[in-house]
Structure 1
Amino acid sequence: MRHSTDRILCTHAGRLSSSLREFETLDQEVWQGRKPEDDAYLAMKREAIAHVVDHQLEMGLDVISDGELGRRRDFPYYDKRMTGLELRDLKEGEVGATVFKSRERDAFPGYYGDVDSKRPAIARPKKIVCTGPLTSKSLDTLHDEIATFKAALAGKGEAEAFFPVIAPGWLDHFIFNEYYNSDEEFIEALSEVMRPEYEAVVDAGLIVQIDDPGLADSWPTLYPKPTIEEYRRYAKIRVDALNHALRNIPAERIRYHCCWGSWVGPHSEDLPLKHIVDLMLSLNIQAYSVEAGNVQHEHEWQVWEETKLPAGKILIPGVVSHKTEVVEHPELVAQRLIRYANAVGRENVQAGTDCGMGLGRVHYEIGWAKIASMVEGAKLASEKLW
């Protein structure tokens, strides 16, 4: 991966909204089962990905994705990929994903009651259960996704391209274990079943991004509230398993995204970065994307004054946030980037977003406006740093 040798390079966290609005509408209908995933849908998805690739390049982004368009991480998506899964109706007191039962939700029951009533589709009315051995079933869908992205990239210049794939320590947020004897065995099985996906992305010539909110956002979902040391043991199981899954891939072909969950809410129970930063840095990867733009984490640039970024690594702080619809001013973006450049070295910083700017986070117009502000802020920072 490229370092910022003469200016601050710009990227983002992965998910984007398509400028082809017809696709977003059709994609929702397919996800909800009202329309089939037929040839017409696939053709529109290819067109939407081509649009989103072109839009990123027009905006001046240096490291781009396919926007994760058409990838719904739910039962049909994973049932195509692995054995051992069942989909069940929720029983009384159960949730479809671990984040729907948390100490943050306990602290703000009125807020979440109001919010959930307005977005019932998000609450996962069913749960995915692991009832048998997890094995890789097929990479056909992944290969199709990669081929579509590469076709959209063809002849488009020198931009680096990354492809996000989920981490084992996030999969267990919405795949519930009823087969393996221990947490360690379950996470090891998830990591091994995901390993071929990570390798397939890199074999196709792309950078693989490991999406892993689970390193941080599992903290408020555990009962009783763990001590920091107890949580670090829980997190280390997941870090070790991910390292094992990445064992065949050179570090310079891997970037990692850590956030505290994409939902909009108080995030008052977020675990401070300082408690897990060393675990994150122990991963055999080159680039680390972290939340840094929202008000729960903006101050954590100071962590990097105390924690040395290892030689050759890249830090991608989120300098615009999906947790507010206010578009950050380019001067603020520049200030944030300069802080990080002063802490870890200008050549080791890329401008990024807190999390994906796609559907369900901010309105697509606002998401793209934030990216435009990020690019402009990176130019302002570069003028001062070089």
Structure 2
Amino acid sequence: MTILTTHVGSLPRPADLLDLINAHDRGEEVDTGELARVVERSVHDAVALQAEIGIDVPSDGEMSKIGYATYLRHRMSGFELGDAPRATPADLDAYPDYKERLHRSGATVTYQRPICRGPIAYTDTRPLETDLATLRAAVEATGGSRAFMNAPSPGIVALFQPNEYYGDEDAYLDAVAAALKTEYDAIVAAGFDLQIDAPDLGMGRHNKYKELTDEQFLARAEVLVEVLNHALRDVPRERARIHLCWGNYEGPHTYDIAVEKVAGVVLRAKPGTILCEAANPRHGHDWAGWAAEKIPDDTVFCPGVIDTTTNFVEHPGLVAERISRFTDIVGHDRVMAGTDCGFGTFAGWGGVVPELAVEKLRSLVEGAALASTNGR
């Protein structure tokens, strides 16, 4: 049984695209024709590179997006740039010397802060339509057929983009979910797999909800999944995948909620494929937590077998070993091989240099081939 390969979505953007996309996000005057041409070229190059490496289910690398959730302010009404307190991860608060080192090194993310100050609605579908058409053309140019496109969960939008308009968080989540349904449905209608990025179910615990107990957080997580499932009501389960993440940064991660506690909630989400961390030092053992769960017979696991926060290039043998942990749980026919997170979560920011991101993806493909051979 051949184990397919994919990744979480974002790839390093080329330098000329970074200049244009960051200037555009800052509201500076940009040649929009040139920006469109550079995005299109970057998507074609990214898809061609993935095909050359051997990635079976590629993406557009999120080339057109400034960040995996904050890009929505360019497509939805209700968001304004402004100042609002930002929650910092509890593990960084607990180790101030390390936190200060990260700030000094420039290893922390900076981005324009969208704040909800009006009614949310999906008002401009043109960027989405362009993204879909560009990815389709790029995939067809490589002779491929299958690909995926990312969209954020309602919960992660609410985490990054605070609410100053709706009466409470639940009303805000409902409005965001209703708007996101436009994007979810369009991605699937275009023939792509839909990936829901949902760090709110992992990272949210030690970020936005760090003052809660685990039990209180899990109650909120149930709400987040319910809202997501409602937005996905017209998306077939097998066409959707969900990415669970505890934060794509190198840090202690000593406050990450255990997978054993959140697995049951995640399994109640509608997407049929789960992309989960399984490579970094804090979550490399999570296979045991998943193994203890009752996994639905139609659930596919896509463990992250490549760490996206370190420039070590994993040996294919180690990649195959990590994959085998999950094939032992659900069988070879229900496992894909992926990455812990993206290589360019925010434009211009990532822990892995571009040339080594490529080498890591090559190792991913080689390791999946080994695991496929071992499973015969």
- TM class by shorter-chain length? over 0.9
Q: Within 5 Å, give how 1:248-267 maps onto structure 2.
A: 248-267=234-253
The 1:188/1:33 distance shift into structure 2, 3 A limit, reads closer
Q: What is the Cα-based RMSD across aligned positions, in Å?
A: 2.1
C-alpha offsets along residues 35-57 of structure 1, whole Å, 9 cap, x if unaligned?
61521221121111111101101
In 2, the alpha carbon distance for the partners of 1:339 and 1:42 equals: 43
**Counterpart in the other structure of 1:107:** 94
Secondary structure of the residue that 1:218 maps to in structure 2?
helix
Does residue 6 of structure 2 align to residue 16 of structure 1?
no
How far residue 340 of structure 1 moved from its aligned partner, in angstroms, is 1.0
Partner amino acid, structure 2, of 1:342: D
Partner amino acid, structure 2, of 1:184: D
Q: Within 5 Å, give how 1:169-318 maps onto structure 2.
A: 169-222=155-208, 225-318=211-304
Contact 1:64 1:159 in 2 (8 A): no
Percent sequence identity is: 34
Q: Within 5 Å, give how 1:325-344 maps onto structure 2.
A: 325-344=311-330
**Counterpart in the other structure of 2:37:** 43
Contact 2:317 2:367 in 1 (8 A): yes
How far residue 24 of structure 1 moved from its aligned partner, in angstroms, is 4.2
C-alpha offsets along residues 234-279 of structure 1, whole Å, 9 cap, x if unaligned?
1111100000000011111111111111222221211111111111
Contact 1:162 1:208 in 2 (8 A): yes
Partner amino acid, structure 2, of 1:105: L
1:83 to 58, 73, 77: 77
Consecutive unaligned residues in structure 1, runs of 5 or more: 1-5
1:365 to 346, 355, 363: 355
How far residue 123 of structure 1 moved from its aligned partner, in angstroms, is 3.3
TM-score in terms of structure 1 length: 0.91
Secondary structure of the residue that 2:113 maps to in structure 1?
strand
How far residue 105 of structure 1 moved from its aligned partner, in angstroms, is 2.2
**Counterpart in the other structure of 1:65:** 59
In 2, the alpha carbon distance for the partners of 1:379 and 1:75 equals: 33
The 1:76/1:245 distance shift into structure 2, 3 A limit, reads closer
**Counterpart in the other structure of 2:368:** 378
Contact 1:75 1:128 in 2 (8 A): no
In 2, the alpha carbon distance for the partners of 1:169 and 1:73 equals: 15
Secondary structure of the residue that 2:337 maps to in structure 1?
strand
In 2, the alpha carbon distance for the partners of 1:82 and 1:352 equals: 30
Partner amino acid, structure 1, of 2:214: I
**Counterpart in the other structure of 1:153:** 139
Does residue 153 of structure 2 align to residue 167 of structure 1?
yes
Partner amino acid, structure 2, of 1:254: A
**Counterpart in the other structure of 1:122:** 109
In 2, the alpha carbon distance for the partners of 1:293 and 1:117 equals: 27
In 2, the alpha carbon distance for the partners of 1:224 and 1:330 equals: 37
Consecutive unaligned residues in structure 2, runs of 5 or more: none
The 1:88/1:74 distance shift into structure 2, 3 A limit, reads farther
In 1, the alpha carbon distance for the partners of 2:221 and 2:245 equals: 14
C-alpha offsets along residues 125-172 of structure 1, whole Å, 9 cap, x if unaligned?
x63222222122121111111111111112433442000011101001
In 2, the alpha carbon distance for the partners of 1:225 and 1:135 equals: 30
Contact 2:70 2:157 in 1 (8 A): no
Moved more, 304-313 or 317-326: 304-313
In 1, the alpha carbon distance for the partners of 2:29 and 2:373 equals: 50
Contact 2:109 2:349 in 1 (8 A): no
Contact 1:53 1:66 in 2 (8 A): yes
In 2, the alpha carbon distance for the partners of 1:269 and 1:22 equals: 38
How far residue 29 of structure 1 moved from its aligned partner, in angstroms, is 4.9
Secondary structure of the residue that 1:73 maps to in structure 2?
coil
**Counterpart in the other structure of 1:3:** none
How far residue 308 of structure 1 moved from its aligned partner, in angstroms, is 2.8
TM-score in terms of structure 2 length: 0.93
In 2, the alpha carbon distance for the partners of 1:343 and 1:121 equals: 36
Contact 1:304 1:344 in 2 (8 A): no
Partner amino acid, structure 1, of 2:61: G
Contact 1:30 1:37 in 2 (8 A): no
Secondary structure of the residue that 1:172 maps to in structure 2?
helix
- How many equivalent pairs are there? 372
Secondary structure of the residue that 1:178 maps to in structure 2?
coil
Secondary structure of the residue that 2:238 maps to in structure 1?
helix
How far residue 305 of structure 1 moved from its aligned partner, in angstroms, is 2.0
